[in-house]
Structure 1
Amino acid sequence: MSDLVEIHNISKRFAIHGDLLDQLTFEDGRLRRKREYVHAVNDVSLTVRKGEALCVVGESGCGKSTLARLVIGLLRPSSGKVIYDGERIDDMTGAERKPYHRRMQMIFQNPYASLNPRMTITQTLEEPLRWHQPELSRNEYMAKIAEVMASVGIDASWGSRYPHEFSGGQRQRISIARALVVDPEFIVADEPISALDVSIQAQVLNLMSSAQEERSLTYLFITHDLAVVEHFASRVAVMYLGTLCELAPARALFASPQHPYTRALLSAIPRLRDERPAFIRLEGEVPTPVHLPSGCVFHQRCPYANERCRREVPRLEALPGQVSPDQPKGARISAEHLVACHAVQERRI
């Protein structure tokens, strides 16, 4: 599969130091200017291939949602670039990005906050059509709305009602319909099922899977629910404290996790089998993203950390000894299962 989205060394930091007077402090008898930042995403590089569902996982505060907003254009990166279908889009103006807004849509986490309470469902679905396809007639708008409502299981009679009249699962279906109504090819889903009951989660996931098959969609799916990832993802990217720890096909990641943090995450999945791996309890506190640790950001909680881990930032590389079927025996490739860990590269794990 070819790459649809390319993320190159992207970083995002948020200033927390306030205005100029808040930045001024006295230290050792001198007036100094002190500025602090939250380092939400740090030098992340990955690609999203056409037709796949790339899931980004990690604990709360690891930078998953910030990464999603950087890709879709709701935030501008502090450094790095985002390339969509061969064109750089992160430095475009609003007018220049308009054609890409139709091709890229987002499903937000909270269905209770993402819909305008003053607009009916028909108005909610009609608004993006009028913005992106103003040449259509009123009848064509209504035909398109009826089609997309039927595709996500929404009754046509809902069109005249308001969001407060629906349950969370129904609202999320409406949010999905709003994303699909302009016929996008790439959808960023930021934890779209976390606010829903478990039974409703399955319905929404099945709906998204069906839409992917019928419309040839590509997903960047943000979640912390690893049970969902195991069944929905094509590939999985694991993040910790704004950095990318591991990137692999879903089946390979769940069968053979390599990074110590990934192993700890997967050990926490509830399973009804005796052979499940023992729960891995990580020691220590999660460092603050304001003052990132030196070297590997995970070294303070990692049982395999050594002096190199404390000093040198690991690079995302292929597993040692990984070979390609069409390469000579012993050849290494930088594809498929990638890990950013000195212990793995040195074969200490």
Structure 2
Amino acid sequence: MTIASTPRTDQLLTLRNVVKHFDISGGLLDQLRFQNGRLTRRRTTVKAVNNVSFSITAGETFSVVGESGCGKSTLARTTIGIYPPNRGEILYRDQRIDNKNAQQMLPFRRKMQMIFQDPYASLNPRKTVMQTLEEPVVFHNPRISSADVRQRVATVMSQVGVDPKWAGRYPHEFSGGQRQRISIARALMVDPEFIVADEPVSALDVSIQAQILNLLMDAQQQRGLTYLFITHDLSVVEHISTRVAVMYLGTLCELSPAKPLFETPRHPYTQALLSAIPKLGRPASQHIRLRGEVPTPIHLPSGCVFHGRCIHANQRCREEIPMPKQVETGVIVACHGIEEGRI
């Protein structure tokens, strides 16, 4: 499923038809089944990401949204190289990186960092903050002096709002918001240019969420960072995003600049998603209630993956996978109804 676009020299990251599936069949005995009186072997595959294509421009905040289980986090981890894609290509500054080994990826590891959802789980409980923050610096700069490392740790801790005097403490001695600030500091230690933020504020209190978001935006302005931001919180998306990609069952439904997406959503799933945002004064009749249940990514529906819950679906939607098409400047939608003028 390829998205046609005009080549741009400022594209930092490009995904082309990326597919990521997980085989959860288990061992041989788990795969064996009796069917029609015969012993057969059956594999079970979770189709987490299916033919996703997009490009991220240097300096922007590119957000990916969708319901839980739609493949957002898998897409993030595949993008940064934690998971290798089954098919497709990932390019960083026009260099393909999905086919590189660990040694070949080292120059890119310094440029690409990740902030995880749970800061407590992503920090080593047996290491102090100093040990956690100095590790990536020393790894990528083996000749750096100890004094320079300590100075860099102190500087970055101050920038993220954590007192450098606390560098000798362990993760359990900090609050959730402070731990996430330390996670952000770890990502900034090697001066990256691209950061994948996977639900970085979902585990925090609302008041702390605003502080962390402001910290991320300040860091972007000061350091010229580019973000791939994964979240299900649409109010956060509207606040920080340059462009937004909407996913459903591992498939890209709509890609649009943030303002047009929130003002005039085009895809039926995007419309339903945005109608669920609570707003004062909006009548309940304007809330779109989807029919049916979300299908399993193990057994994806034929045709459009959303057709079973879409009120506009016809026979073509049930049989043919829609191709992403540009419907207006910067807005790309994969929907037969929009292509045919029915929506």
Give TM-score, length-normalised by structure 2: 0.96
Question: Residue 9 and residue 277 in structure 1: after superposition, are their counterparts in 2 closer, same or farther (change >3 A)?
Answer: farther
Distance 2:87 2:165 in 1: 47
The 5 Å alignment of 1:146-295 reads 146-274=154-282, 278-295=286-303
Compare 233-242 and 130-139 and name the one that shifted more: 130-139
In structure 2, give the amino acid aligned to 1:301.
Answer: R
Work out the number of aligned pairs and report it.
335
Question: Post-superposition shift, 1:24?
Answer: 2.0
Distance 1:171 1:252 in 2: 35
Distance 1:279 1:149 in 2: 44
Question: Residue 299 and residue 274 in structure 1: after superposition, are their counterparts in 2 closer, same or farther (change >3 A)?
Answer: closer
Q: 2:309 aligns with which of 292, 297, 301?
A: 301
In structure 2, give the amino acid aligned to 1:337.
Answer: V
Distance 2:237 2:86 in 1: 29
Classify the secondary structure of the residue corresponding to 2:286.
coil
Question: Residue 283 and residue 209 in structure 1: after superposition, are their counterparts in 2 closer, same or farther (change >3 A)?
Answer: same
Question: Post-superposition shift, 1:275?
Answer: 7.5
Is residue 121 of structure 2 the alignment partner of residue 127 of structure 1? no
Q: In structure 2, what is the equivalent of residue 328 of structure 1?
A: none
Distance 1:275 1:105 in 2: 43
Q: In structure 1, what is the equivalent of residue 332 of structure 2?
A: 338
Classify the secondary structure of the residue corresponding to 1:38.
strand
Question: Post-superposition shift, 1:29?
Answer: 2.6
Partners of 1:267 and 1:277 within 8 A in 2: no
Distance 1:291 1:107 in 2: 31
Question: Post-superposition shift, 1:23?
Answer: 1.6
Question: Post-superposition shift, 1:280?
Answer: 0.6
CA deviations on 1:101-126 (whole Å, 9 max, x unpaired) are 00000000001211111111111100
Q: Which runs of 5+ in 2 are unaligned?
A: 1-7
Question: Post-superposition shift, 1:277?
Answer: 7.9
Distance 2:215 2:107 in 1: 26
Distance 1:164 1:28 in 2: 56
The CA RMSD measured in Å over matched residues stands at: 1.2
In structure 2, give the amino acid aligned to 1:12.
Answer: K
Distance 1:34 1:254 in 2: 43
Compare 18-27 and 59-68 and name the one that shifted more: 18-27
In structure 2, give the amino acid aligned to 1:292.
Answer: L
CA deviations on 1:251-302 (whole Å, 9 max, x unpaired) are 0100100000000010011112448981110010001100100000000000
Q: In structure 1, what is the equivalent of residue 3 of structure 2?
A: none
Classify the secondary structure of the residue corresponding to 1:300.
helix
Distance 1:272 1:135 in 2: 58
Distance 1:213 1:101 in 2: 22
Distance 1:42 1:124 in 2: 35
Is residue 11 of structure 2 the alignment partner of residue 17 of structure 1? no
